[in-house]
Amino acid sequence: MIKLLLEPVNLLILDEPTNHLDLRTKDILKSALQDYDGTLILVSHDRDFLDSLVTKVFEFGNKQVKEHLGDIHSFLVKKKMENLREIERKA
């Protein structure tokens, strides 16, 4: 593991990186990730943290993976519209 860490990498995989962080530390981490010049795979429920970090969202559900191009807000708007259409179909 140490040998891997000594090599330059262009891929970061982070799973809920903001858990247990205060607001200042979260901001520092977000700024560092915005400056990161590699591929970032990020799993988080913190929508504010994801804002301006992601350009693609993968949605896992119903035994499927769906790719959504755009930021977290465009993904949430699209999901909200899909949910409203589903409700209208059932009514």
- Tokens at residue 75, please? 């993904």
- Contact in structure between 9 and 36 (CB atoms under 8 Å): no
Looking at the whole model, is its pTM more than 0.75?
no
- Do 4 and 38 lie in one domain? The reply is yes
Report which DSSP code applies to 19: T
Residues 65 and 88 in one domain: yes
What percent of the chain stands above pLDDT 90? 68
Number of domains in the chain: 2
8 and 34: one domain? Answer: yes
Are 4 and 39 members of one domain? Answer: yes
Model pLDDT for residues 22-66, shown as the tens digit of each residue: 999 999 999 999 998 889 999 999 999 999 999 999 999 999 999
pLDDT at position 4 is 63
How many whole angstroms separate alpha carbon 57 and alpha carbon 55?
7
| Residue 32 belongs to domain spanning | 1-44
Nearest to 54 by CA among 40, 67, 35, 36: 40
